[in-house]
Chain A
Amino acid sequence: MRTQTKAALGIGAALAAILAALIILLVVNPDGDEPAASAETGEDSVLVRSDSHVLGEEGDSGVTFVEFLDFECEACGAVFPVVEQLREDYSGRVTFVARYFPLEGHFNSERAARAVESAARQGEFEAMYQKMYETQSTWAEAQVPKDDVFRGFAEELGLDLEQYDADYASEEVLARVRKDVADGESLGVQGTPTIYVDGELFQPESVQDFYDTLDEALAK
Chain B
Amino acid sequence: MYRFQVCPINDLVVAEVADSNVAYEIKIVAEDGDSDSDGDRHGRTAHVVAVDIINFMDALKIDKAIIAGFDWARAPLTSWRCFGRNAARESFRSAAI
Indicate, yes or no, whether A interacts with B.
Answer: no
Give B residues with C-beta under 8 Å from A: none
